[in-house]
Amino acid sequence: MAEEPQKTEGEEKPAASEHVDGKTMHVKVYAPFKVYFDGEAESISAVNETGPFDILPKHHNFMTLLDACDVIVRSGGNEEKIPITRGIMHVKADEIIVFLDV
């Protein structure tokens, strides 16, 4: 009988490769004392030094500094605009983390 893989402590959400429909990605937008968004999304838009850009599911790994803009997260037909002055975005395997006020 094969052993089940062990779960590590804090492992709650599915791995990026386990996104069932392939049409969403996990997005977390937060600052040191506030979480602005934490959930599944179809896309996220922001602005870096080269201009505006969008991230969609299955995007290549990517990291950038964000300029002052509205970070726009689209999820379930809704659009959430988060005004920022600066931040860092890290995209890896359908996991997008945006850390603000750094």
Residue 30: give the domain boundaries: 21-100
Q: Tens of pLDDT along 5-46?
A: 454 454 454 444 455 567 999 999 999 999 999 999 999 999
What's the one-letter identity of residue 18?
E
Q: Per the domain annotation, does 70 fall within a domain?
A: yes
Q: Per the domain annotation, does 8 fall within a domain?
A: no
Q: Count of domains in the chain?
A: 1
Question: Alpha-carbon distance 14 to 12, whole Å?
Answer: 7
Predicted TM-score (pTM) of this structure: 0.78
Q: Per the domain annotation, does 79 fall within a domain?
A: yes
Task: For residue 70, give the CATH number of its domain.
Answer: 2.60.15.10
Question: Alpha-carbon distance 37 to 25, whole Å?
Answer: 13
Q: Tens of pLDDT along 56-90?
A: 999 999 999 999 999 999 999 999 999 999 999 99
CA-derived radius of gyration, the chain:
15
